[in-house]
Amino acid sequence: MRSKPYGGAVTDAGISIRDFAAAVGLSAHTLRYYERIGLLDPIKRAPSGHRRYSPADAAWVAFLTRLRATGMPISDMQTFAALRREGETTVRERRELLEAHRRLVGARLLDLESSLEAVIDKIHHYESLEATLERPSERVPVRARSREAR
Distance CA(30)–CA(61), nearest Å, equals 11
Is there a contact between 14 and 2 (Cβ–Cβ < 8 Å)? no
Handedness of CA 17, 22, 25, 28 (dihedral sign): positive
pTM of the model: 0.73
Residue 43's region, left for phi above 0, alpha for psi from -120 to 50, else beta, is: beta
67-113 pLDDT, tens digit per residue, is: 999 999 999 999 999 999 999 999 999 999 999 999 999 999 999 99
Residue 1: C-alpha distances to residues 15, 24, 56, 70 (Å)? 11, 19, 15, 34
